[in-house]
Amino acid sequence: MPIRPLRRPSGPCLALACALLAGASARAEQAVQRPFTAQDLVMLARVSEPRLSRDGQQLAFTLRQTDYDANRGARALWSLPTLDGKSAPRRLSAEGSNAWSPRWSADGRTLYFLSDRGGSTQVWQLSDHGGEAQPVTRLPLDVTSYQLSPDGRALAFTLDVRLDCDTLECTQQALKPAKAGKASGTLYSSLFVRHWDSWADGRHGQLFLAPLDADHVMRGTPTRISKGIDGDIPSRPFGDESDYAFSPDGRSVYFAARLADRHEAWSTNFDLYAVPADASAPPRNLTADNPAWDATPVPSADGRFLYYLATRRPGFEADRFAIMELDLGSGRRREVAADWDRSASGLALAADGRSLLTTADDKGAHPLFSIEIASGAVHRLSGPGNVSDFSAAAGTVVIAHDTLSAPGDLFRLGPGREARQLTTVNSERLKDVGMVPAEEFTFAGWNGDSVRGYVMRPHGYVPGRRYPVAMLIHGGPQGSWLDDFHYRWNPQVFAGAGYAVVAIDFHGSTGYGQAFTDAISGHWGDRPLEDLQKGWAAAQDQFAYLDGSRACALGASYGGYMINWIAGNWATPASGAWRCLVNHDGVFDNRMMYYATEELWFDEWENHGALPWTDAAAYEVFNPAAHVADWKTPMLVVHGALDFRIPLEQGLGAFTALQRRGISSQFLVFPDENHWVQKPQNSVQWHRTVLDWLGHWTGKAAD
């Protein structure tokens, strides 16, 4: 069970990671910096969407800053005039409105973006001639995403419209409340009736195209080029402009969609379509032979091939996304890098046209990779940590990068994984904050497989002392505790509050090969629990500062399910009972979960493909509700009322069981949050409530 640094040296490290390691050593000696807090977390600036101009010389990006009093984030566009790491970023968009999704014109002289100035979201432009931003679109509906044609003469964009409407104004009128009558009911005849955090209102995302005039302004009425495809473009709830792309000559558009038919709520069958940009023919299905997920179209530079991501198993959202090549002339297809046992996330063509860029979870990291198209050879381009986004042009690659010890900044990649830091967006806010480094450990888990975990010492750690522990359990369940800076479940906040942290990538986690990920399906309550039990024992054996007699377990989503499962199936870890539990948006009753959730394919796959009325036993074998008689550990239950993935009644059910059993418990409800807690003041309240709960039961409050 070897112990090694989480950021283990393997060639040149990212500049920021190296600096943090050196800084951590200096802080350990001085121990003068203050701990990281929940208030710090919500106030951090968040950098995203780096976008290079075609010549690779200009960079625009989005920066989100927190308006705490208004209880929201505000997004603005910024740019870097040079990429040498010496120039200061310059704000481009005006105060008082949000701006995001930057895109450069082909000549680099115009920057396009989305903005909600004026009361609705439209495409805007900024010219290098200076002056105020000008609208590109003036549509009666919000623009949800867009793409520029390669020559800059056309704009593809998406709008949420009613499919029974022939005009945008028709949809606009349909959204207005009825003037007569007081009846408020909505009649549905098929699923989805609600999805993620919103109720269906009869609209679907559709793809439109319009020419731009010499002033880069859309004139006339746009053409709906996805007509006949009754589905959502981009996909809901998390799709974006990567769901569609122009051909290099601008004559065709490729897009991904799942049909909104009666099977939609239990189908993962997304297909890729090709449609003439002038809508002279209906969309043509390019991947009808694959009943699973096809997405993220990327044409080759010469237009002969289409690269995309695809899964093989229908109904399994966590299947490995393979990189595929489709010969648009012959229809022949093949997998690129078929032996690479990782699931690609995002796809872009490199400047040389001979390789593809993608990111993927990889043993606790999420780096950027280059894949040679011809040979399938895989090259890792970035070091430890998380690449949340990237942009490549003319041989230049810029990444948005973060780690467990550092929030995101922009870096320019060089050879050998070297990186030049371009931004320091939180340097002033964090100048007196002491971040805590993490240590990685491995142990033999279920089936004797090697399982990874990490631990963090509490801020202000004193050798020889023992500390209360927060064991964090990730969701998904096909997810991972990455070396990244999370804005909801951030271990730095717990370490800053004086807790040691333990986190384990149990079977089902991503980044260790598809077989490791597959191992959890149908086994929610046994294999991952065995990993958590063995990992918790291994951590206590190897890290003497962990006080196992003062430990609480916390988790959200699947992690919340596991908290409910632990309550009835793991009451006494090796060093004594759990002092407390925290269940955020967790599954309580497997059977009712199926009937109340929205994406049915998930529950069906995770329960051996069974339906609860044909195989009730499949839903009962690992059902937390069946073990309530064995519950005895104090539990804090947290739930968002707008969570339609794991509905509110699951949290309420757990709290009802706790109260009726006479077990110490609390229930924190957010009426304005979904599966995540995102509003700044809600996040601070969440952290204070959770830390107060931990402090009460571990005795930390009295330390």
Catalytic residues: 557, 643, 675
Owner of token pair 């280059």: 370
535 and 498 in contact (C-beta within 8 Å)? no
φ/ψ of 619, rounded to 5, equals -90, -10
Question: Which residues, 6+ apart, have CB-to-CB distance to 631 below 8 Å?
Answer: 567, 568, 657, 658, 661, 663
Phi-psi region of 417 (alpha: psi -120 to 50; beta: other; left: phi over 0): left
Extract the tokens encoding 228.
């006949």
703 and 675 in contact (C-beta within 8 Å)? no
Pick the closest to residue 385 from 411, 347, 415 (CA basis). 411
Q: What's the per-residue H, E or C state across 8-37?
A: CCCCCCCHHHHHHHHHHHHHHHHCCCECCC
Cα separations in angstroms, 41 against 330, 402, 680, 701? 52, 14, 9, 21
392 and 382 in contact (C-beta within 8 Å)? no
Extract the tokens encoding 368.
């950027």
How much is the CA Rg of the chain, to the nearest whole Å? 25
Rounded CA-CA distance 158/146 in Å is 6
DSSP of 400-427, one letter per residue? Answer: EEEETTEEEEEEEE-GGG-EEE---TTT
Amino acid letter, 14: L
Beta-strand pair 580-584/546-556: parallel
Collapse the DSSP code of 478 into the 3-class scheme (helix H, G, I; strand E, B; otherwise coil) and give the result: coil
Extract the tokens encoding 160.
């949420």
Rounded CA-CA distance 523/56 in Å is 48
Rounded CA-CA distance 285/226 in Å is 12
Owner of token pair 């010219």: 127
Question: Which residues, 6+ apart, have CB-to-CB distance to 512 below 8 Å?
Answer: 363, 452, 505
Owner of token pair 């939609």: 264
Q: What is the largest CA-CA distance in the chain?
A: 75
Rounded CA-CA distance 308/314 in Å is 17
Cα separations in angstroms, 367 against 147, 483, 547, 685? 26, 10, 34, 33
Torsion angle of C-alpha atoms 110, 114, 115, 118, degrees rounded to 10? 90
591 and 619 in contact (C-beta within 8 Å)? yes
Rounded CA-CA distance 307/392 in Å is 17
Extract the tokens encoding 652.
């309420």
Q: Which helix (H) or strand (E) holds 170?
A: helix 168-174
Say how many Å lie between the first and final Cα of the chain, rounded.
32
Phi-psi region of 655 (alpha: psi -120 to 50; beta: other; left: phi over 0): alpha
How far is Cα of residue 359 from the mean position of the Cα atoms in its chain? 13
Collapse the DSSP code of 566 into the 3-class scheme (helix H, G, I; strand E, B; otherwise coil) and give the result: helix
Cα separations in angstroms, 261 against 199, 254, 605? 17, 21, 20
679 and 673 in contact (C-beta within 8 Å)? yes
Cα separations in angstroms, 682 against 69, 491, 497, 555, 688? 12, 18, 18, 18, 10
